A = this chain, B = another copy of it.
């Protein structure tokens, strides 16, 4: 057995170099005679790990000093509650763009804490396109929440929407896949398990002038002020996940940073969508202008062949290609840690499959 080409939507593939480093250091980390996960989070050694991870993230994304960087737990789903609890009072309204399963979940959770207003609802088009800007309506609420890339549907905003209120983005599946202009956002958050690191860690970047508004009823572990005041160490952080994430940041720097990653990811997406578009056998249901760079769903002309496709792909070392249960068909997630060679191997397999069954 050797390493497969892993197209999992998340928890997703990690860079092999990162896993090898973690493997080497598993029992004895940097002269400590212990694993990094056996160290006090308040030890100088671990505080350095956390600070270096933050520094690397700031360099990679050019995060200005005006933003706090927080390491949180509970995934993006926990931030669905943290956002209204930190940015609004119960009497306020807030605006939500609903363009897929994840922004829909954020909206549903938001409703429990704020007068959540739906700016636009993509479900009328089965989330296959971004509703036209002309049809958006705002409540002029405390913030505008959206999900730039919907992992399940494979739908992505091609540009950052210009809005009046602070923009809050769930970037779980795109953060670090290319450069972004952080200053366009009030808050960016992301579960780590796609492009960032292992499951169990979430990154939050908050413009500092938005801090200091948390409700008294905000649990301490969801309170960004508490996290910011304590260097994300109000309690024990998920130390191993932070360490691994730091190694991913280091790997991204060694690759040349986010400009380079953006170029690679653009090529990967172009190669795979090209494979789909140039066939009469595979198709992608998403509106062309809203196609995701990261999550590429596709269907076969004959869905009875789905099972055969998945089985033969797995035998060829191409794994986790099954579409989300709510969508069906296939989905290839091609995050940072999925190399161009993996996409090439998938495309070659698709060609062969089409020749045999098409």
Residues in A lying within 8 Å of B, measured CB to CB: 1-4, 6, 8-14, 16, 19-20, 22-23, 26-28, 31-35, 37-43, 73-78, 80-82, 85, 109, 112-113, 191, 193, 198-201, 216-217, 219-222, 234-241, 317, 319-320, 325
Contacts and interface: CB of A to CB of B under 8 A. Distances in A.
A34 B73 contact: no
A327 B262 CA distance: 50
Nearest to A75: B235
A193 B1 contact: no
Contact of A74 (B22, B216, B221): B221
Nearest to A79: B221
B217 A10 contact: no
Given A40-B8, A81-B221, A14 B33 contact: no
A64 B222 CA distance: 32
A116 to B, nearest CB: 14
B4 A34 contact: yes
A33 B318 CA distance: 10
Nearest to A193: B236
B1 A220 contact: no
A77 B112 contact: no
B40 A13 contact: no
A268 to B, nearest CB: 18
Contacts of A38: 6, 8, 11-14
B198 A37 contact: yes
A240 to B, nearest CB: 5
B200 A240 contact: yes
A76 B235 CA distance: 9
A143 to B, nearest CB: 17
Contacts of A14: 35, 37-38
Nearest to A35: B19
B191 A80 contact: no
A74 B73 contact: yes
A34 B237 contact: no
A40 B10 contact: yes
A-B CB proximity, top 6 nearest:
A200-B238, A4-B33, A81-B219, A77-B235, A23-B26, A73-B73
